Structure 1
Amino acid sequence: MGFDLDGLRAAVAAHGQVTRVVIAAIRGSSPREVGAAMLVWQQGQSGTIGGGTLEYEASHAARSQIQDRVLGSHALGPDLGQCCGGVVTLLSEVYDATRLAALDHELIVRPVRAAADGAMPLAVKRLLASARSQGLRPTPQLVDGWMIEPVHHPEVPLWIWGAGHVGRALVDVLSPMPDFSITWVDTGPERFPSDIPQGVTPVPAADPALLVTHAPVNAQHLVLTYSHTLDLGLCHSLLSHDFAFAGLIGSATKWARFRSRLAALGHSPAQISRISCPIGDPALGKHPQMIAVGVAAQLLRRDMTEDLRKDHRA
């Protein structure tokens, strides 16, 4: 996770002045990781730094904050009566449209203490130079009184084909997850709900299969339209294109028929086996939200496995 600049922009546009509270450092155990953040305004908040009492106290302080920037440490056990036992350092910063305009960067680096308002420390310069020379994004961290956070960009393109009950449940469950960039496709604008979550791009298309070639080859796909004919056309197009993952909603009977029809369209058994069907966890049931929870778990397990493989290869 990094600095969610788009989310902050949206909150400032909707609520005016907003205080961003981020975990800047941790000693011992903590309910969330460094870089976890929440946005607080007078009548509400979004995001979470976890911890129950920690978040409650931080939200209350953020609403009455006068200074532009406050850095403070909280001993979770002695100060807040929590069981984690660690010490969490929070950075709270007040943003409005004027201050937000200065943050349009890929990397946000700023001093967080009055004593650190001078030149950038050598340790910070070295870390930034090393990250840039290697083409790596530094992790969120507090270094010699300076906070370093990369601007967050969703890195997993996810295409959801179908805006029916299951499609809507999937968008509700998956859109808050920070790493998914969701493209949502159906046959017409009337198929979509009026309130589409931030970060989800709805695309009405009379023939959805024609859009497959516009999807990046590293995209993940969930096929669940209202029509088996549309589903089959999408599977055919996906196998003729490329993808990181493709899942099809359906029963074992539907998948047996699709395998036969895809083979007749010229796809080999090895190619066809790249499509997962059914998706999710059938043991959870067929309610749209139950399907969505199972699919979300499937995608997250897959991404975690891929990350472990990359770490092993590195």
Structure 2
Amino acid sequence: MSWINALADLQQRGEPCVLVTIIEERGSTPRNAGSKMVVSADALYETIGGGHLEYKAMKIAREMLAERSRDTRLERFSLGASLGQCCGGATVLLFEPLGQPQAHIAVFGAGHVGRALVPLLASLPCKVSWIDSRENEFPEAIPAGVNRIVNEEVVDEVENLPAGSYYIVMTHNHQLDLELTAEILKRDDFAYFGLIGSKTKRVKFEHRLRERGFAGETVQRMRCPMGIAEVKGKLPVEIAVSIAGEVIATYNANFGEKSNVPRLVPESRRAQQPTRT
């Protein structure tokens, strides 16, 4: 498989990879500048000439994948005893991480806002699970890379998600929203939790959650209303853009941090959050 086809196939499957390119070649070696190789977690596509250099490039690429690196990287290799070569010279390789998912996002609810939001999230470097109990609410065409989950017991899906996930709750039922909120806060290992609704809904939920014994600092991690204040409007697509923007801001701010507590908009702007109904 060519490197171009490999990239397209890996992107379709939502699998991250690193594109390795020979940028510069000095010395009497058979390698050609511009040669490319795609490295995934368990496969290689194309070649940059084989040998120990290719092995070292593969090792670096897979270390980048394990670290979820997003930064491009240049490495210079002296061709000599360290690479098992009999001649001098040097090779410069460019490592470009591609398709690295920045977030695992669970969207609860296949209503109007959910149908506007999920295609936006699917176009980001994220893994998306779209969850609802009502199979007929999902559109016929599900965006590529989105895992549609139909489960009568929607709340049970919370425990199936990995630590550090992003939760977006926008179901058709306030009581279901409350039960999902309780399960998500009980885990308390999320990177982001947004609940659709107004400030009034937030106050009601905070009261009910305190009655259930949740600490105030845990409840404060809930984003309700959610979305970027500057993106205003009541249309589903406008609300969806606002939420997607906040998700992007969160994973960009949190990238590389070990803490699961999201850094969002400044405290001074939080009181300006728009009302969502």
Pairwise same-fold verdict (TM > 0.5): yes
Aligned residue for 1:195, secondary structure, equals: coil
Q: How many residue pairs end up in the alignment?
A: 224
C-alpha distance in structure 2 between counterparts of 1:306 and 1:286, whole Å:
29
Q: For the residues of structure 1 that align with 2:56 and 2:20, how far apart are their CA atoms?
A: 23
1:292 alignment partner, one of 240, 246, 259: 240
* Corresponding residue number in structure 2 for 1:225: 171
Paired AA for residue 176 in structure 2: L
Match of 2:200 among 239, 246, 253: 253
Hey, which bits of structure 1, 4+ residues long, moved more than 2 A? 2-10, 22-26, 102-112, 119-122, 124-155, 307-310
Give the alignment of 1:8-23 within 5 angstroms: none
Deviations 1:86-107 (A, max 9, x none): xxx797x9xxxxxxxx987535
Aligned to 2:108: 161
Gaps of 5+ in 1: 11-21, 27-70, 73-88, 94-101
Aligned partners of 2:22 and 2:94 also within 8 Å: no
Query: For residues 9 and 159 of structure 1, what CA distance do their matches in structure 2 show?
Result: 18
Does 1:7 pair with 2:15? no
Match of 1:184 among 116, 130, 141: 130
Identity of aligned residues (%): 30
1:115-169 deviation line (CA, Å, top 9, x unaligned): xx5x4364x4444445667955786678748776667453521000000011111
Quote the residue 2:160 is aligned against: 214
Give 1:234's aligned amino acid.
L
Superposed CA RMSD in Å reads 3.8
- TM-score (normalised: structure 1): 0.59
Kindly indicate whether the alpha-carbon contact (under 8 Å) linking 1:246 and 1:274 is maintained by their aligned counterparts in 2.
yes
Q: CA deviation at 1:255?
A: 0.7
Superposed displacement of residue 213, structure 1: 1.2
Equivalent in the alignment of 1:120: 51
Q: How does 1:24-103 map to 2 (within 5 A)?
A: none
The structure 2 residue matched to 1:264, chosen from 180, 197, 211, is: 211
Aligned residue number for residue 80 of structure 1? none
- Distance in 1, Cα, partners of 2:191 & 2:95: 32
Q: What letter is aligned with 1:158?
A: I
Indicate if the aligned counterparts of 1:3 and 1:150 stay in contact, CA closer than 8 A: no
Change (3 A) 1:109 1:151: farther
Unaligned runs of 5+ in 2: 1-5, 24-31, 76-90, 259-277
